[in-house]
Amino acid sequence: MIKIERILVPVDFSESSQEALRYGHEMARERNSKVYVLHVINQRIIDALQDMSAKGYKGEFMEVLKNVVKERRDELERFVPATMREDIEVQLEIRKGRPAEEIITFARENQVDLVILGNVGRSALEAALVGSVARNVANHAPCPVLLVRPRA
């Protein structure tokens, strides 16, 4: 049998990433795998926060950033159903940076066997069939990648 011991589900809290999480949960239950649920705080947001903070006043930016990390962590906690955590081993992770890069690095460093993502995310343009993060991860991940559409 093909080894799927570690599954990575990157989430941006969109509907399709919720569906990706459902797939990850089911597959992990069947195979007794561990699931990493990873949210990346986009570098673009961090840069914008830094610009908005008083110029040269680093303390304020650090404080704002700390709050954003906490908010995202809380959101991640709420996004992962309690039933999932009872069934299988789940590890929640937050990273900062460019989403695709961070996802690929995380997959490599943790020897992930499968990445499951939504085909689109929060900024889903009507026309886009596959978003840029999904496309980038599919192109460069060190393991197979499964793209999941939101439930009809």
Ligand X SMILES: Nc1ncnc2c1ncn2[C@@H]1O[C@H](COP(=O)(O)OP(=O)(O)OP(=O)(O)O)[C@@H](O)[C@H]1O
**Helices 132-140, 99-109: inter-axial angle, 10-degree rounding:** 30
Supply φ then ψ for residue 2, to 5 degrees: -65, 135
27 contacts ligand X (rule: CB under 6 A)? no
Least distance (Å) between residue 124 CB and Mg ion: 8
39 contacts ligand X (rule: CB under 6 A)? yes
Least distance (Å) between residue 80 CB and ligand X: 13
Supply φ then ψ for residue 147, to 5 degrees: -105, 130
| Alpha-carbon distance values, 28 to 4, 20, 94, 103, 134 (Å) | 8, 12, 21, 19, 21
Least distance (Å) between residue 143 CB and Mg ion: 21
Helix, strand, or coil (residue 98): coil
| Nearest CB to ligand X, comparing residues 18 and 33 | 18
Least distance (Å) between residue 76 CB and ligand X: 10
Single out the segment in contact with ligand X by CB under 6 A; choices: 9-17, 63-71, 74-82, 84-92: 9-17
Binding mask 115-134 for Mg ion (x = CB under 5 A): ------x-x-----------
| Alpha-carbon distance values, 24 to 76, 112, 117, 134 (Å) | 15, 13, 9, 16
The contact set with ligand X (CB under 6 A) reads 10-12, 14, 16-17, 20, 38-40, 42, 99, 117-118, 120-124, 128, 131-134
